[in-house]
Amino acid sequence: MVGEILHAFQLKPGDSVADLTLGHGGHTEHFLRSVGPEGTVLAMDLDSEQATITLNRLKEAGLADRLLVEPGNYAGIGQAMGKHAMPALHAMLADLGISSMQIDKPERGFSYRREGPLDMRMDPLRGETARGLLNTITAEDLASGLEEFGDVPLAGPMSRAMLAAHRATPFETTTQLAEFCLNWHRGTGSTQNPGEWRLRQGKKKWETHPAARIFQALRIMVNREIANLKHLLRVAPDLLAPGGTLAILSFHSGEDRLVKSALELGLRQGKYAEISEGPIRATFEERTANPRSRSAKLRWARRPQTPFWRTEGVEI
């Protein structure tokens, strides 16, 4: 959704931009070209390995001179701006979820289609793995997470069955967990043979692999993504320059509800002058070419041209 994001930002030469989820650097590359040699782009990423790969790619393209790369979670954007003496941002993007490069590396444990260790950490050097989470979490907490972060039907029975299976024979790999999800799906009444699953378009929507939502919810829990998103939404208005724009690209209903609520609250409080009218979706052409974009929802909010803490010229 590069075109939609650039349309919302309306970047000019000399602007300062933050890409809070660098990934492969697709958005960052467009930002660098838009702000020109006078502008600055600050990019963050928890995955230091991927950040290094992307930085080298942008260096080869001759774009890295105006790029600042800061390792860490986007919840620390305020500290990163202070470190690089950036007083405010003209635009800020958080592309939530996971990058294609991480999914495509089986050793990272994000993909239910490729065998790898049951890891799912954005930062592979620290934190608890998905396997470790299943060792300690209660069925009630797991069900809550599956329902809130993955919209998983029958989350309660699913959680109890998953933990019982894990206790009997611990899930060590992604394919072991994916196979359990397929068998569970078949056992709840589906006539679909697990081996026949493939991505295809159904009536008015794309069919979803039975393991997709489970893996999504576990990844969000492992990386504490919702807590980080809530913090970002709280501090974002204070980090934008007058007229600056925040854009959030989310991939499931729980994230989108949080973003929608925060932007609407900011609009009522006068912290934002305008927000997008509902979520912006990828075009059918993009969803067809890139199936991972089919669940993407873009929302944006723009700060007033005058500081929101001023009323009729009087600072309060």
Do 16 and 86 share a structural domain? yes
**For position 25, what pLDDT does the model report?**
85
Please report, for the domain that includes residue 242, its CATH number. Answer: 3.40.50.150
Within a domain: residue 119? Answer: no
- Kindly report the CATH number assigned to the domain that includes residue 133: 1.10.150.170
96 and 237 in a single domain? The answer is yes
CA 121, 123, 128, 131 dihedral sign is positive
Which pLDDT score, from 0 to 100, does residue 307 have?
63
Handedness of CA 19, 213, 111, 228 (dihedral sign): positive
Q: Which band of pLDDT confidence, cut at 50, 70 and 90, is reported for residue 3?
A: very high
Over residues 56-76, the mean pLDDT reads: 89
Q: Are residues 171 and 94 in the same domain?
A: no
Range of the domain at 207: 124-222
- Residue 47's pLDDT is what? 83
pLDDT interval class at 63 (50, 70, 90): confident
Comparing CA positions, the residue from 141, 160, 295, 156 lying closest to residue 218 is 141
Q: How many CB atoms lie within 10 A of CB 263?
A: 23
Domain boundary (167, 191, 222) is at 222
Q: 275 in helix, strand or coil?
A: strand
Q: At which of 197, 222, 247 does a domain end? A: 222
Q: Is residue 263 part of a domain?
A: yes
Q: Are residues 235 and 216 in the same domain?
A: no
Closest residue by Cα to residue 222 from 146, 128, 159: 128
Task: Report d(CA 14, CA 38) in Å as an integer.
Answer: 4
For residues 95 and 234, membership in a common domain is answered with yes
Q: Give the separation between CA 201 and CA 221, rounded to whole angstroms.
A: 29
Q: pTM for this one?
A: 0.82
Within 10 A of 161 (CB to CB), how many other CB atoms are there? 17
Whether residue 118 is contained in a domain is answered as no
Number of domains in the chain: 2
Q: What pLDDT does 207 receive?
A: 61
Residue 146 lies in a domain: yes
Q: Do 11 and 80 belong together in one domain?
A: yes
Q: 249-258, pLDDT tens digit by residue?
A: 998 888 999 9
With a cut of 50, say whether residue 191 has pLDDT above it. Answer: no
pLDDT, position 309: 53
Residue 300 lies in a domain: yes
Do residues 184 and 130 both lie within one domain? yes
Lowest-confidence range among 141-150, 159-168, 170-179, 306-315?
A: 306-315
**Do 197 and 245 belong to one domain?**
no
pLDDT at 224 over 50: yes
Specify whether the CB–CB gap between 182 and 196 falls below 8 A.
no
**CB contact at 8 A, 43 and 18:** yes
Pick from 190, 222, 254: which residue ends a domain? 222
Q: How many CB atoms lie within 10 A of CB 266?
A: 21
pLDDT recorded at residue 311: 45
Confirm whether 114 is domain-assigned: no
Mean pLDDT of 233-254: 94
Tell me the per-residue pLDDT of 100-121, one tens digit each, with 9 for 90 and over.
777 878 889 999 988 999 999 9
| Residues 213 and 236 placed together within one structural domain of the fold | no
Do 218 and 131 share a domain, yes or no? Answer: yes
Computed over every residue of the chain, the mean pLDDT equals 87
195 domain-assigned: yes
Residue 312's pLDDT is what?
Answer: 45
Residue 115 placed within a domain: no
Specify which residues 89 forms β-bridges with.
240
What pLDDT does 123 receive? 86
